[in-house]
Chain A
């Protein structure tokens, strides 16, 4: 039974609402598009609904809810409201008025005839918007509302059960929360603990999504939510939130009050926490076979689960249309020339016409190529704009103050690359805030502005797009990295490593483990994953850092994935393409400057010693025998700061080629990343330099380390021979398996020039002046 004073207060207000509603509807009839009137009416019905619901007048609540829906429809669609609808609305308002009178006298609301009215109004709404979901959604909620009201007398159980269950395998989670490859790699290479948190709101909870969102918000204060299922930032459909999974990386103790109070949200009933069992990737560099198999296909096709549709700027399509138009005109000109030929025009005339027309064809096809390339390009802003929020969240979590700047957001990048590059950028930014930017007090002590500064920029440099994350933090601490390298790789001679070689170690898998995160202020966690990801996009990473000035990490990417700049070379009478971005240098040298060291070919060139691979041998053919004083072409390739000298038969020049991916059958072949069809129809294999270098290094890594340690070739002479003999067998097996020959030389790396020159080199090589690749392309190479 309702207390009298509530009834009185309710009636007073409700009568006023009904009266105001009547007046406003009359006004609306004269001015059916007046938005402010509709808004006001919507609000009246909304209020009436709430009040009636509070006192359990369910019929009034339902009718006012339906009227609210009707006004909501016109509010949203901005359509004029028709007379018919207005009379239906009046019927509803009249019923409410009568019902209020009944409550006034008998304390009971009217139920008689209410069903038919509700039906009429519901039907009206259906008609108004048969395919719209706005109103349907409200109805859905309404059903739940009824359920809620029926259980009004239930006591609400507020106890939250937080149970910690047995560990769960990572494999299961991958399916539960749909992790991207990047996430998986990142988690597997990270030595932190991860937890799966399953949150259930109580059944009677009306707005489950916001409740779970509150938990989500709280959890973010205590760690990082790697993934949620449903995707909480995007999926707002309440019916999907019977429960929600969070993959969570805590930054606090999970038994702490801080963490547990994250769940102290009203109407949350049950929470299950399970530690995730993750098979960590081994630190060993070699156990990556499967990944390497994937690498080739990724390098060429980037087969990822990203979306395959693309929104294209209409201007780009217009210019495509224009070029195609020109092409058609051009074709007509060729037909004309054919006529000239048939009608016996002079050869000079035909020649002139032919030259003109084909020059035009060249220009048009160039244009078409550029346009098609641009079609794939979208401004990097699409992802950059998400980062201010990311920075804000990370910074506040780590309790650091950071100003964040973005530049070059309109730089365009291949769509595939954009999709793939977001996670690596996020990681670099997180690292910059976490490890780069110092705490406020420390910054002030150093005389820096209290607020840290992080810049994310994108710009084009030649045929590359550079994405740069720079901070004005403490810089990378070489000494700490050196100590760490010493610990992890006791065989490495630290003193012989340059600073940039030291930084390379940061990008090695498992470089930083959990215990060290706290002691090592350098970067490290998961950077190998970032690097892998970037190299899958045919990009590379460049780090510059200065103590107390800051660190800048550049992701250097090719402009587009389909067109590749290559150096075309010839070996054993076939064409091969070497991607320009892998090439350090090309030159022509006398054959006798290639030294023999036992069975190995090495080259001393500008104070560095390179091991030499004959391309013809690499592809399983005989190398051409050269006379003593002949000049030969070399291409020095580089991957990950390791360099190898490839000896080729002929140098054709620089070209842009369209990359075709390899057929499935050939994908297992190592050392080839794709195929390019040349202008004359012949085929060139594109060399997979990273694979070749890596394969070479891994086969000879023991030797390399040893060499570096001893710093003298002579001292390890016997060892080289022995170890090499061992590895030769495995190379032979490899040859049969892979159809691609491996070189039988030893590797050197750039640090090699420390080796006592006298012991290695018998005579100095006369080198020609450094020729840039661009120059080479115009040389006469016949």
Chain B
């Protein structure tokens, strides 16, 4: 069975890139979210194997969304996606239980290896 992935990023372009990369690797993108609230709701609804969560998003940022998701599912596999200069936020995410993070601009290998490691 294909690994189900939920993408959360406010930029549709970013999601598109990610989607293509991941589908080429044989993952299934079960849904997309463009803000934190949507990400939490879709996570509850779709129960993906992994969620790739951008930190900077409108309405509810990635960190808050992450906390909400962990409340709902403590074993959730969350990969935080961030840009440079957000080190502090990443550390906060790690302390809250995030399994891995990727840094934008990222490369195909990075995101795939992060997903594989999270699945282990």
Residues of A within 8 A of B (CB): 5-6, 9-10, 12-14, 43, 46-47, 49-51, 53-54, 61, 137-138, 141-142, 145, 149, 152, 155-156, 158, 206-207, 209-210, 213-214, 217, 236, 238, 261, 264-267
Given contacts A213-B91, A261-B120, 15 further A-B contacts (CB under 8 A): A9-B13, A12-B13, A13-B12, A13-B13, A14-B13, A46-B56, A50-B104, A51-B14, A53-B104, A142-B84, A152-B107, A206-B84, A207-B103, A213-B94, A214-B101
A124 to chain B, nearest CB (A): 18
Our pick among A5, A13, A152, A156 for the contact of B11 (Cβ within 8 Å) is A13
Interface size on B, residues (CB 8 A): 32
> What residues of chain B lie closer than 8 Å to A261, measured between beta carbons?
120
Given contacts A13-B12, A210-B101, A261-B120, contact A155 B90 (CB under 8 A): no
Instruction: Check B13–A51 contact: CB distance below 8 A.
Output: yes
Q: What is the predominant secondary structure among interface residues of chain A facing chain B? A: helix
> What residues of chain A lie closer than 8 Å to B10, measured between beta carbons?
47
Question: Please, what's the 1-or-0 string for B91-120, where 1 marks a CB less than 8 Å from any CB in chain A?
Answer: 100110000111111110110011001001
Instruction: Check B85–A141 contact: CB distance below 8 A.
Output: yes
Q: How far is the CA of A758 from the CA of B101 in the complex (A)?
A: 80
Our pick among B83, B100, B101 for the contact of A49 (Cβ within 8 Å) is B83
Closest chain B residue to A13 by CB distance? Answer: B13
Q: How far is the CA of A236 from the CA of B102 in the complex (A)?
A: 18
A686 to chain B, nearest CB (A): 48
Given contacts A13-B11, A210-B87, contact A156 B109 (CB under 8 A): yes
Instruction: Decide yes or no whether B16 CB sits under 8 A from chain A.
Output: yes
Instruction: Decide yes or no whether B1 CB sits under 8 A from chain A.
Output: no
A24 to chain B, nearest CB (A): 14
Instruction: Check B94–A217 contact: CB distance below 8 A.
Output: yes
Instruction: Check B13–A156 contact: CB distance below 8 A.
Output: no
Instruction: Check B109–A50 contact: CB distance below 8 A.
Output: no
Instruction: Check A158–B56 contact: CB distance below 8 A.
Output: no
> What residues of chain A lie closer than 8 Å to B85, measured between beta carbons?
137-138, 141
Instruction: Check A156–B107 contact: CB distance below 8 A.
Output: yes
> B13, B14, B102, B120 — which one has the most chain A CB atoms within 10 A of its CB?
B13
Instruction: Decide yes or no whether B24 CB sits under 8 A from chain A.
Output: no
> What residues of chain B lie closer than 8 Å to A47, measured between beta carbons?
10-11, 56
> What residues of chain B lie closer than 8 Å to A217, measured between beta carbons?
94-95
Instruction: Check B110–A156 contact: CB distance below 8 A.
Output: yes
Question: Please, what's the 1-or-0 string for B52-83, where 1 marks a CB less than 8 Å from any CB in chain A?
Answer: 00001010000000000000000000000001
> What residues of chain A lie closer than 8 Å to B95, measured between beta carbons?
217
Our pick among A10, A43, A145, A264 for the contact of B117 (Cβ within 8 Å) is A264
B96 to chain A, nearest CB (A): 11
Q: How far is the CA of A61 from the CA of B83 in the complex (A)?
A: 12
> What residues of chain A lie closer than 8 Å to B100, measured between beta carbons?
214, 265-266
Given contacts A158-B109, A266-B114, contact A9 B12 (CB under 8 A): yes
> What residues of chain B lie closer than 8 Å to A207, measured between beta carbons?
84, 87, 90, 101, 103
Instruction: Check A43–B87 contact: CB distance below 8 A.
Output: no
* Minimum-distance CB pairs A-B, first 10: A53-B105, A54-B105, A210-B90, A50-B104, A156-B109, A9-B13, A13-B13, A206-B103, A141-B84, A266-B114
> What residues of chain A lie closer than 8 Å to B13, measured between beta carbons?
6, 9-10, 12-14, 51
Closest chain A residue to B79 by CB distance? Answer: A266
Q: How far is the CA of A155 from the CA of B87 in the complex (A)?
A: 25
Given contacts A10-B13, A13-B11, A265-B117, contact A50 B90 (CB under 8 A): no
Instruction: Check B88–A236 contact: CB distance below 8 A.
Output: yes
> What residues of chain B lie closer than 8 Å to A49, measured between beta carbons?
83
Instruction: Check B11–A209 contact: CB distance below 8 A.
Output: no
Our pick among A142, A155, A206, A210 for the contact of B109 (Cβ within 8 Å) is A155
> A50, A158, A214 — which one has the most chain B CB atoms within 10 A of its CB?
A50
Our pick among A5, A14, A158, A236 for the contact of B91 (Cβ within 8 Å) is A236
Q: How far is the CA of A14 from the CA of B12 in the complex (A)?
A: 11
Our pick among B11, B84, B106 for the contact of A51 (Cβ within 8 Å) is B11
* Residues 14 to 37 of chain B near chain A (Cβ within 8 Å): 14, 16-17
